[in-house]
A and B are shown apart, each in its own frame.
Chain A
Amino acid sequence: MLNVKNLFFKYNQKSVLENISFSIDRSKLVYLIGDNGSGKTTLLRVLAGHLDYDKGKILIDNKLVDDFAPFFYLGHSIYFHSKLRLNENIKFILNLYGFYFTLEHINSRLEYFGLFKVRNNYLSNLSQGQKRKSSLTLLHYFSKKKIWLLDEPFINLDSDSKENLIVLINKFLNIGGIVIMATHEQFPIEGKKIVLTNSHV
């Protein structure tokens, strides 16, 4: 269970998150909803440990989070190097995390989002949608994390890929994972809604 208690975050003396509190049970999805600039991405990045919060507590199963290892954050970035091929990029990232993999395994994961055909392409030769799907492929390898933090994951995706992503998220929820997703759209997965308005929940 994830518990966020009285979270405060300031950026350049301006309050971005004020007294944010919520809790999420295991196997639950949460939609983070709010206008542009309401603090959705900031909240996800604070939870991922990429930004240091000023006050408050983040607890997982009633234990204070200190190293943020249980979280996996996937934002708007591409994460891959333009001079490397798609499969090379994935291999290097998996190696850095010490994950065991085979070439067949990577190929099958790429095929999940229809990227097998472009596996040997340089990242600079891929379309925006293909780049997005490439970074989403990483989700396959981070299913051992307890919480996925996804920042508008459906942007630039075609309808088939959206369905594939929904299946992937459902699988993660079924094994006890928690998903917090910042989005402007509604998807066919049941989930609690957290609405951010002017830095507040």
Chain B
Amino acid sequence: MYKVFLFSVKRELLITYRSLNDFLMPFSFFLLLSIFFPIIITTDSLVLMKIAHGILWIAYLFSCFLSINRLFDEDYHSGFFELVSKSKFLIAFVIGKLFCGWLLITLPIIIVSPITLYIYGINETNIVLLFFSMLIGTPIIFNICFMVASLTFNLKASAILAPVLIFPLIIPVLILVTSFFGEDSFHSMHPFDFFKLLFLLSIITTLFTIFVSYNSIKNSS
């Protein structure tokens, strides 16, 4: 099982390495969106400090949402999913795909996020807090996008259905992750408790995503 997981990761890494355009798209989208906001909206540092966290999370959500379909498209259309749907190791393949997807789409964004926050004039303590909240909390958003993509990759109306399915699930998550840095109830929460809550939600959504995606790929044909 572990060997299949490693092979699945290796496969995704090789595919991504050979299609660098696809790899760079979410990263450059995130970077451009977070840089353009202060240029276009306002240069008032007080306003920027208030909205920075929200902008970063929304930029991440859209980067993720726009690029996640590539994890499924060719494997579905080539018949690969149909072929492997009978494998008893399919679950390891799904876990590998999920892990690799997060690694390739999210990790570069997390690494670059502290640099973009300097543009918004955020203090160092908040930058560190946001960096760790993204590291622990991005799997929640990624899992939801991955789960919805796995449910819609074989549907003709996926471009309409996917946003309809994603947004009701994402809104509470976005409120939670951004409110910690705002002025409402979560603000008074100790950072460690906030990270624990994010970690717990990440674990729950990961398990649920694996279950849903496994069944979706198994029955995709």
A residues at B contact (CB < 8 Å): 45, 49-51, 68-69, 73, 75, 77-84, 88, 91-93, 95-98, 122, 138
Q: List, sorted by A's number, 19 A–B pairs whose CB atoms are closer than 8 Å.
A: A45-B221, A49-B86, A50-B82, A50-B85, A77-B78, A77-B82, A81-B15, A81-B78, A82-B74, A83-B19, A84-B15, A84-B18, A95-B7, A96-B84, A96-B89, A96-B93, A97-B84, A98-B89, A138-B83
A51–B220 CA distance with the chains assembled, in angstroms: 10
5 closest cross-chain pairs (CB), A and B: A77-B79, A50-B221, A95-B7, A83-B18, A96-B87
Please count the residue pairs between chain A and chain B whose beta carbons lie under 8 angstroms apart in the complex.
70
B residues at A contact (CB < 8 Å): 3-4, 7-8, 11, 14-15, 18-19, 74-75, 78-80, 82-90, 93, 221
The answer to whether residues A79 and B80 also contact, given A95-B4, A98-B4 and a CB cut-off of 8 A, is yes
List residues of chain B with CB within 8 A of the CB of A80. Answer: 78, 80
List residues of chain B with CB within 8 A of the CB of A49. Answer: 86
Residue in B3, B8, B78, B90 whose beta carbon sits within 8 Å of that of A78 in the complex = B78
B163–chain A nearest beta-carbon distance, Å: 26
A138–B84 CA distance with the chains assembled, in angstroms: 12
In the complex, what residue of chain B is closest to A49 when comparing beta carbons? B86
Are B75 and A81 touching (Cβ within 8 A)? yes
List residues of chain A with CB within 8 A of the CB of B79. Answer: 75, 77-79
A185–chain B nearest beta-carbon distance, Å: 23
A84–B83 CA distance with the chains assembled, in angstroms: 16
List residues of chain B with CB within 8 A of the CB of A83. Answer: 14-15, 18-19, 74
A49–B83 CA distance with the chains assembled, in angstroms: 11
List residues of chain A with CB within 8 A of the CB of B78. Answer: 77-82
In the complex, what residue of chain A is closest to B88 when comparing beta carbons? A98
**Max chain B Cβ within 10 angstroms of own Cβ: one of A50, A84, A95:** A95
Are B11 and A79 touching (Cβ within 8 A)? no
**Max chain A Cβ within 10 angstroms of own Cβ: one of B7, B11, B19:** B11
A48–chain B nearest beta-carbon distance, Å: 8
List residues of chain A with CB within 8 A of the CB of B7. Answer: 91-92, 95-96
A169–B74 CA distance with the chains assembled, in angstroms: 30
List residues of chain A with CB within 8 A of the CB of B80. Answer: 79-81, 93
Are B86 and A84 touching (Cβ within 8 A)? no
A50–B85 CA distance with the chains assembled, in angstroms: 9
In the complex, what residue of chain B is closest to A123 when comparing beta carbons? B78
List residues of chain A with CB within 8 A of the CB of B221. Answer: 45, 50-51
A-B contacts besides A92-B8, A96-B8, A98-B88, 13 pairs, CB < 8 Å = A68-B86, A73-B82, A75-B79, A81-B11, A82-B78, A83-B15, A83-B18, A83-B19, A83-B74, A84-B15, A84-B18, A88-B14, A98-B89
In the complex, what residue of chain B is closest to A72 when comparing beta carbons? B86
A69–chain B nearest beta-carbon distance, Å: 7
A11–chain B nearest beta-carbon distance, Å: 13
A180–B102 CA distance with the chains assembled, in angstroms: 42
List residues of chain A with CB within 8 A of the CB of B11. Answer: 81, 84, 88, 92
The answer to whether residues A69 and B15 also contact, given A78-B78, A79-B80 and a CB cut-off of 8 A, is no
List residues of chain A with CB within 8 A of the CB of B3. Answer: 95
B22–chain A nearest beta-carbon distance, Å: 10
List residues of chain B with CB within 8 A of the CB of A51. Answer: 221
List residues of chain B with CB within 8 A of the CB of A93. Answer: 80, 83-84
A15–B85 CA distance with the chains assembled, in angstroms: 26
List residues of chain B with CB within 8 A of the CB of A82. Answer: 74, 78
List residues of chain B with CB within 8 A of the CB of A50. Answer: 82, 85, 221
In the complex, what residue of chain B is closest to A45 when comparing beta carbons? B221
A65–chain B nearest beta-carbon distance, Å: 13
List residues of chain A with CB within 8 A of the CB of B87. Answer: 96-98
